[in-house]
């Protein structure tokens, strides 16, 4: 925060306090001096409701207590009017003040609970996308590791020969080195996907980022014999969003598409990236089980899943991937929607803003 911003915030807060104190003083004067037999002090409730937007919990409670004390003081200082009506007005006002303070505090608690639930959901989704990834990653890392062992055995054989074949041993060592680098790149990609809290938007090549995710899930696609067709319109501009979060969404959509095609005879995944006005749109379409019309309305509801995993508990779904993906995409200024593909299967599309070129 800049010095200017913090000075502005301090000035705004002082001004709020001056305004609140003036209104309270006004209510107190009118309540004490005038002989009107109406519960003027209920207006303190408006002060509480207005101040609730900016005050912390303890300060709000202190303000409510202060309003009640002023109401009591007015009752004792007031010399005009019937004391019985005054007593009734006092009770009405104190009830109104207490009720508004209580309601505001309840609302605040509900807001904090909703925020905590949202944070928890985000954590769950991250864990979910990582757990979805872990099998593919274990497979990917396993491949270079197995290659390293094979090359190591070969290297040992070339060296123990009489005479040793140093040329072939050197080749085997070079393969070991490149496989080790490949494994470390896979792990580095996983670590970068595991990071990421609030969106950190910057310009990036969306096609490259999506391709990276497809490569990451390459072994799962090959295992399920899924034909992949990738079409990125040529010369697409950069996207402006949080790259890691967009990749997290792409992983969720691709993993769902793979899951939907595990038991269908035709397995065709299509990933298309185009630009429309000031947005880039990525469409992930599959020839899987598809989305029945009555299901479309629930897809993005948290904890909605059809992946019960009764036969394979490890494939059970949590039903948070799509709801979190939508939250992430919307936080980045885009949209995520689903539709049934005309030729069967499902099509999920998301948009992200195009990076504006600097003037
Ligand atoms: P999960 O994958 O854990 O079930 P999601 O929120 O990612 O949670 O998906 C919710 C549900 O949406 C899935 O259980 C599935 O029924 C449906 N779904 C998602 N993607 C597809 C798809 N490509 N084809 C068919 N159904 C899908």
pLDDT tens string 4-36: 667 777 788 888 889 989 999 999 988 888 777
**CATH code, domain carrying 270:** 3.30.565.10
The verdict on the CB of residue 300 being under 6 Å from ligand 1 is no
Query: Is 162 within the bounds of a domain?
Result: no
Q: Is residue 180 part of a domain?
A: no
Does 113 share its domain with 262? no
Whether 136 maps to a domain, the answer reads no
- Per-residue pLDDT tens digits for 179-213: 888 788 767 766 665 655 566 789 999 999 999 88
Cβ of 305 less than 6 Å from ligand 1: yes
Predicted TM-score (pTM) of the model is 0.56
Residues 206 and 99 in one domain: no
Query: CA-CA distance, 35 to 238, in Å (whole number)?
Result: 71
Task: Say yes or no: 211 and 338 in one domain.
Answer: yes
Q: Which domain holds residue 57?
A: 3-122
Given 122, 157, 186, the domain boundary residue is 122
Q: Is it the case that residue 342 has pLDDT exceeding 50?
A: yes
Atom of ligand 1 nearest to the CA of 348: 23
Asked whether residue 357 carries a pLDDT value surpassing 80, the answer given is no
The verdict on 77 and 213 lying in the same domain is no
pLDDT tens digit string along 272-323?
Answer: 999 998 999 999 999 998 998 888 888 988 777 887 654 444 456 677 788 8
Instruction: State whether 208 and 117 are in the same domain.
Output: no
Counting ligand 1 atoms within 8 A of each CB, the residue from 224, 256, 289 with the most, and so the one to mutate, is 256
In a domain, 318, yes or no: yes
Residue 212 lies in a domain: yes
User: Is the per-residue pLDDT at 358 higher than 70?
Assistant: no
pLDDT of 236 higher than 90 = yes
**Which of 273 and 137 is assigned the larger pLDDT?**
273
Which DSSP string do the residues of 227-276 spell out, in sequence order? EEEEEE-TTPPPEEE-HHHHHHHHHHHHHHHHHHTTT-S--EEEEEEEEE
CA distance 105 to 37: 30
317 within domain boundaries: yes
User: With contact defined as beta carbons under 8 Å apart, do 338 and 291 qualify?
Assistant: yes
Predicted local confidence at residue 254, as pLDDT:
94
pLDDT of residue 3: 66
Whether the predicted pLDDT of 240 surpasses 50 = yes
One domain, residues 212 and 89:
no
284 burial level (CB within 10 Å; 0-12, 13-18, 19+):
buried
Number of domain units in the chain: 2
Residue of 135, 305, 326 to test ligand 1 pocket, by largest number of atoms within 8 Å of CB: 305
**Domain end (from 122, 148, 172):** 122
pLDDT value at residue 281: 96
pLDDT of residue 64: 92
Helical residues (DSSP H) of 78-216, grouped into ranges:
83-160, 166-194, 206-216
Last residue of a domain, one of 100, 122, 144: 122
Is 192 among the domain residues?
no
- Ligand 1 centroid to Cα of residue 197, in Å, is 24
Domain-located, residue 26:
yes
Rounded to whole angstroms, how far apart are CA atoms 94 and 90?
6
């Amino acid at each position: 925060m800049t010095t200017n911003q913090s000075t502005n915030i301090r000035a705004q807060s002082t001004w709020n306090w001056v305004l609140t104190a003036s209104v309270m003083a006004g209510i107190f004067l009118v309540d004490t001096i005038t002989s009107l037999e109406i519960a003027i002090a209920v207006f303190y409730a408006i002060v509480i409701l207005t101040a609730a937007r900016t005050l912390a919990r303890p300060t709000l409670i202190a303000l409510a207590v202060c309003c009640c004390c002023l109401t009591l003081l007015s009752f004792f200082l007031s010399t005009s009017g019937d004391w019985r009506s005054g007593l009734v007005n006092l009770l009405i006002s104190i009830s109104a003040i207490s009720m508004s303070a209580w309601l505001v505090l309840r609302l605040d608690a509900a807001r904090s609970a909703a925020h905590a639930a949202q944070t928890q959901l985000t954590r769950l989704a991250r864990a979910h996308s990582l757990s979805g990834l872990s099998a593919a990653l274990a497979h990917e890392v396993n491949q270079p590791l197995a290659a390293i062992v094979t090359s190591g055995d070969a290297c040992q054989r070339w060296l123990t020969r009489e005479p040793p074949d140093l040329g072939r041993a050197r080749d085997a060592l070079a393969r070991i080195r490149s496989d080790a680098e490949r494994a470390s790149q896979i792990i580095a990609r996983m670590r970068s996907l595991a990071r990421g809290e609030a969106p950190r938007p910057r310009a990036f090549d969306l096609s490259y980022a999506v391709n990276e995710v497809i490569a990451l899930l390459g072994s799962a696609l090959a295992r399920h014999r899924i034909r992949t067709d990738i079409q990125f319109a040529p010369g697409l501009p950069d996207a402006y969003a949080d790259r890691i979060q967009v990749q997290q969404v792409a992983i969720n959509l691709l993993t769902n598409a793979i899951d939907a095609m595990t038991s269908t005879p035709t397995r065709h995944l299509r990933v298309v990236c185009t630009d429309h006005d000031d947005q880039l749109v990525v469409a992930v379409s599959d020839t899987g089980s598809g989305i029945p019309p009555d299901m479309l309305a629930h897809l993005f509801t948290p904890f909605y899943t059809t992946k019960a995993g009764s036969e394979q508990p490890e494939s059970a779904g949590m039903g948070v991937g799509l709801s979190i993906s939508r939250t992430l995409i919307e936080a980045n200024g885009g949209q995520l929607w689903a539709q049934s593909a005309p030729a069967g299967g499902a099509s999920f599309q998301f948009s992200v803003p195009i990076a504006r070129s600097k003037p």
